[in-house]
Amino acid sequence: MAVLGALSLTLEVPEIETGVKFYTDAGLASTVEGNVARLRCEGQDRDSIVLLGGYSKKRLHHISLRADDLDGIAARICEHDGKIVNAPEGFEDNGLWIEDPHGMLIHLSEHAADPELMAGNPYEINAPGRVVRSRRSAMLPGASYPAARPLRLGHILVFSPDVPKSVEFVTEALGMGLADRAQDIIAFCCARKDSDHHVVAFAKSPGVGFHHASFQVHDPDEVGRGGRALHAKAGKGDWGFGRHTIGSNFFHYIQDPWGSWFEYYSDMDHIDDYSLWTPTNYDMADSLANWAPEVPHDFVHNYEVDSQPAREHA
Ligand SMILES: [Fe+2]
């Protein structure tokens, strides 16, 4: 086996206070020690986002993935143009620290699996020829609903200067599977057993960087309500409510204080056994969404790369 799921991402940021406000507004719980902030989903015993304050600008420090067979992975890193490196100063020297072919730092550890999430009520809708609800409303008044509460970090999308090379590395060296892609511009990779459609994804850019972290919520309504509420509080860009073609998930993205994105999602495709999955190479028309509002002009802009021309639309 190999990579089993996403654990967390660590960002360097100018100051942690705005990040703590953004992510706690998003529904994560925070702890702050000195210039380090840790954000986690309520009910989980581990962090999903770590912010390191005091840097000149936002930059991806590393992503952390849950894995097994670390010795097997270590033996494959160099032949696929990666590097095994020492733990960065201040971080535990456990598991395996590596750099991918583009210098992106990845921490692999044999962290225990998260507990199974409790199943809620089925999300069903009245449809032609199939009435599942009569003599009652589906919706309560908006104020009746609690704030969105992320259940778990599902996936991390990062920028890559060479998407096929990044895919080769995570599939051949880290034992992931290519779930789907759109040409050589964007690619989505999963674990090979019992995985969300994607755990790590790559979007083409002149350099590496963090694009978005995506958190699962209970259902599409919570995606929509949570996205709208967080957008109002954060005061920057948003994209959604919409539905992806690749992965099928409903989404709402809200821009974080540094120009990257936070995603609420619901109803993502599941791959129980990668050997029974066939990847599709989609046209660019389906690379971003099946349906959604207009894409923000800087949705795929990598603010971690200096002197990059702004992209109009993906
Ligand atoms: Fe996403």
Span from the CA of 137 to the centroid of ligand 1 (angstroms):
31
Span from the CA of 273 to the centroid of ligand 1 (angstroms):
21
pLDDT tens readout for residues 209-255: 999 999 999 999 999 999 999 999 999 999 999 999 999 999 999 99
Of the pLDDT bands very low, low, confident and very high (cuts 50, 70, 90), residue 1 is low
Span from the CA of 63 to the centroid of ligand 1 (angstroms):
15
Distances (CA, A) of 156 to 9, 175, 269: 8, 17, 16
Q: What's the whole-number average pLDDT of the chain?
A: 95
Span from the CA of 155 to the centroid of ligand 1 (angstroms):
7
Give a yes or no: residue 293 inside a domain. no
Query: What's the mean pLDDT in 286-307?
Result: 93
Of the pLDDT bands very low, low, confident and very high (cuts 50, 70, 90), residue 307 is low
Span from the CA of 213 to the centroid of ligand 1 (angstroms):
7
Span from the CA of 129 to the centroid of ligand 1 (angstroms):
33
Span from the CA of 263 to the centroid of ligand 1 (angstroms):
6
Give a yes or no: residue 278 inside a domain. yes
What whole-number percentage of the chain has pLDDT above 70?
97
What whole-number percentage of the chain has pLDDT above 90?
94
Close Cβ partners of 77 (under 8 Å, ≥ 6 residues apart): 83, 84, 98, 173
Query: What's the mean pLDDT in 164-185?
Result: 98
Span from the CA of 245 to the centroid of ligand 1 (angstroms):
11
Give a yes or no: residue 312 inside a domain. no
B/e letters for 157-188, b = 16+ CB within 10 Å, e = fewer, are bbbbbebebbbebbbebbbbbbbbbbeebbbb
CB 158 within 8 A of CB 202: yes
In the chain, the number of structural domains is 1
Query: What's the mean pLDDT in 75-101?
Result: 96
pLDDT tens readout for residues 6-43: 999 999 999 999 999 999 999 999 999 999 999 999 99
Is the CA virtual torsion 56, 304, 291, 270 positive or negative?
negative
- Chain centroid to Cα 142, Å, comes to 27
Specify the pLDDT at position 306. 74
Give a yes or no: residue 306 inside a domain. no
Span from the CA of 174 to the centroid of ligand 1 (angstroms):
21
Specify the pLDDT at position 120. 84
Specify the pLDDT at position 121. 86
Span from the CA of 3 to the centroid of ligand 1 (angstroms):
18
Specify the pLDDT at position 4. 97
> How far is Cα 171 from Cα 148, in angstroms, rounded to an integer?
34
Which range marks the domain in which residue 258 is found?
3-111+151-286
Span from the CA of 214 to the centroid of ligand 1 (angstroms):
5
- Among 201, 230, 260, 238, which Cα is nearest to 51's? 260
Give a yes or no: residue 302 inside a domain. no
Give a yes or no: residue 168 inside a domain. yes
With left for phi above 0 and alpha for psi between -120 and 50, is residue 237 left, alpha or beta?
beta
Evaluate if residue 312 carries a pLDDT over 90. no
Specify the pLDDT at position 262. 98
Span from the CA of 201 to the centroid of ligand 1 (angstroms):
8
CATH number, domain of 27, equals 3.10.180.10
Specify the pLDDT at position 308. 53
CB 166 within 8 A of CB 100: yes
Q: Tokens 């998003």, residue?
A: 26
Of the pLDDT bands very low, low, confident and very high (cuts 50, 70, 90), residue 311 is very low
Q: Tokens 């009910």, residue?
A: 43
Give a yes or no: residue 160 inside a domain. yes
pLDDT tens readout for residues 115-159: 889 888 899 999 999 999 999 999 999 999 999 999 999 999 999
Beta strands 105-109; 96-99: pairing state: antiparallel
Span from the CA of 162 to the centroid of ligand 1 (angstroms):
19
The arrangement of strands across the sheet holding 49-52 comes to: 29-33, 36-40, 49-52, 3-12, 59-67, 105-109, 96-99, 83-84
Of the pLDDT bands very low, low, confident and very high (cuts 50, 70, 90), residue 313 is very low
